């Protein structure tokens, strides 16, 4: 078996391993196999139970540098921790078009799986865990995509890494069914367009879904449970769809996630920052410190059919333009709505307006909360109701739903 030359210092050709013929591919027998290895020719490599690739704390564990390579069932551990050198458990070079990395176990301090400018790769059912002895900010990301197209990242489990899945300058990719726990950002997009994020689950992250500087994202059927600061963050996102997602129990952690991203993280189920022309429908945002916060010119978004349930504060909107959150006679469900439905059509007869001038006063001067139930504050609220001309522009849902939409209600956490 001739697999080509060794192009990277410190790596050995995979042919130096004691491979056994296995049908159309090769089988790596049980045992600890020390070193960094490289595949330079199309092949199928399967690892027997107990087969371990141990990189000895230096460089990559396994480099794939050929098209149509399949690596399945291997355990890779103890690769390098130099993030500048992109030390990874499995590193896929540009020529690794159509590679399949399936059912592997990776334990190490650097990046888990790195895709570098390649096409049409499948990453499926891999289990990736970072090094708990390393500070979280010094760990690599679980899966890193850079300048990648056509990748399918499906049903992987990632935990104790820096970011679960980081997508940079990559378009036309699918993230589906991944479980991500105890990381900084679960799924993190930067400068990436036309991607799909479907049916993933994040738990105990500092931001479940950090969608940043991207457009035409399709984010459907995902869950965020017990994340801190933000369940879903939209920062400079345009022409994207958020639908049928469930965000629950987001609470305040360290401000901005501890990394200075955006200050003032009150535990927001959905934070929309300088994002326009998005469709946000049939999602459920529940039991969080703040249901939805829009700021920095986040206007012209279509927000209908969502359920906002038992959040400590439902809406925070900081802008000077009126926002109508109903469309074609259908709005959103609000658990604190106090209106009525006399004709029984399932829509409230009076509009839902969550924020007034008193709310804005509290946002600007939090210490005013000490006077929240004082006669002076109650007088201000009465003046606003009696003289609507002094009401500041804000969110208005003219047709609030009397019941949570069926799609959102079906996703209630047990």
pLDDT tens-digit series, residues 157-198: 999 999 999 999 999 999 999 999 999 999 999 999 999 999
The rounded Cα 248 to chain-centroid distance in angstroms is 14
pLDDT for 266 equals: 76
| Of 310, 347, 356, residue with least CA distance to 329 | 347
Of 6 and 345, which is predicted with more confidence? 345
The dihedrals phi and psi of 382, each to the nearest 5 degrees, come to: -65, -40
Whether 277 has a pLDDT exceeding 70, the answer reads yes
Whether 71 has a pLDDT exceeding 90, the answer reads yes
- Report the alpha-carbon distance of residue 45 to residue 37 in Å, rounded: 12
Are residues 333 and 309 in contact, defined by beta-carbon separation less than 8 angstroms?
yes
pLDDT tens-digit series, residues 255-271: 444 444 555 567 999 99
- For the chain, domain boundaries: 13-254+264-396
Element (H, E) at 359: helix 357-364
Whether 98 has a pLDDT exceeding 90, the answer reads yes
Are residues 126 and 103 in contact, defined by beta-carbon separation less than 8 angstroms?
yes
Are residues 229 and 256 in contact, defined by beta-carbon separation less than 8 angstroms?
yes
- Report the alpha-carbon distance of residue 317 to residue 395 in Å, rounded: 7
pTM, 2 dp: 0.87
CATH topology of domain 13-254+264-396: Pectate Lyase C-like (2.160.20)
């Amino acid at each position: 078996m001739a697999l080509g030359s060794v192009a990277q210092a410190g790596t050995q050709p995979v042919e130096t391993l004691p491979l056994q013929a296995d049908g159309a591919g090769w089988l790596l027998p049980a045992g600890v196999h020390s070193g960094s290895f490289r595949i330079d020719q199309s092949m199928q490599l399967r690892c027997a139970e107990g087969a371990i690739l141990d990189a000895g704390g230096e460089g990559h564990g396994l480099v794939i540098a050929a098209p149509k390579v399949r690596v399945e069932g291997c355990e890779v551990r103890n690769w390098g921790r130099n993030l500048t050198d992109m030390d990874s458990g499995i590193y896929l070079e540009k020529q690794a078009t159509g590679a399949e990395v399936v059912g592997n176990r990776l334990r190490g301090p650097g990046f888990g799986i790195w895709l570098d400018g390649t096409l049409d790769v499948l990453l499926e059912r891999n289990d990736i865990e970072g090094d708990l002895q390393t500070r979280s900010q010094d760990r690599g990301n679980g899966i890193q995509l850079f300048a990648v197209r056509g990748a399918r990242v499906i049903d992987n489990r990632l935990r104790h890494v820096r970011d679960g899945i980081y997508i940079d300058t990559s378009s036309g990719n699918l993230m589906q069914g991944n479980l991500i726990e105890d990381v900084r950002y679960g799924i993190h997009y930067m400068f990436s367009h036309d991607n799909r994020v479907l049916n993933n689950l994040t738990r105990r992250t500092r931001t479940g879904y950090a969608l940043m500087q991207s457009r035409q994202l399709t984010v459907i059927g995902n869950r965020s449970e017990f994340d801190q600061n933000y369940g879903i963050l939209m920062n400079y996102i345009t022409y994207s769809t958020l639908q049928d997602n469930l965000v629950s129990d987001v609470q305040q952690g360290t401000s901005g996630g501890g990394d200075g991203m955006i200050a003032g993280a009150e535990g927001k189920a959905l934070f929309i920052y300088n994002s326009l022309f998005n469709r946000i429908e049939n999602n459920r945002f529940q039991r969080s410190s703040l249901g939805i916060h829009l700021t920095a010119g986040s206007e012209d978004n279509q927000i209908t059919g969502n359920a906002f349930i038992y959040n400590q504060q439902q809406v925070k909107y900081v802008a000077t333009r009126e926002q109508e959150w109903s469309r074609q006679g259908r709005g959103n469900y609000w658990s604190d709505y106090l209106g009525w439905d006399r004709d029984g059509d399932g829509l409230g007869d009076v509009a839902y307006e969550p924020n007034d001038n008193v709310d804005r006063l509290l946002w600007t001067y939090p210490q005013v909360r000490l006077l929240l139930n004082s006669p002076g504050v109650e007088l201000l609220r009465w003046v606003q109701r009696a003289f609507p001309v002094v009401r500041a522009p804000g969110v208005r849902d003219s047709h609030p739903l009397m019941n949570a939409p069926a799609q959102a209600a079906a996703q209630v956490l047990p």
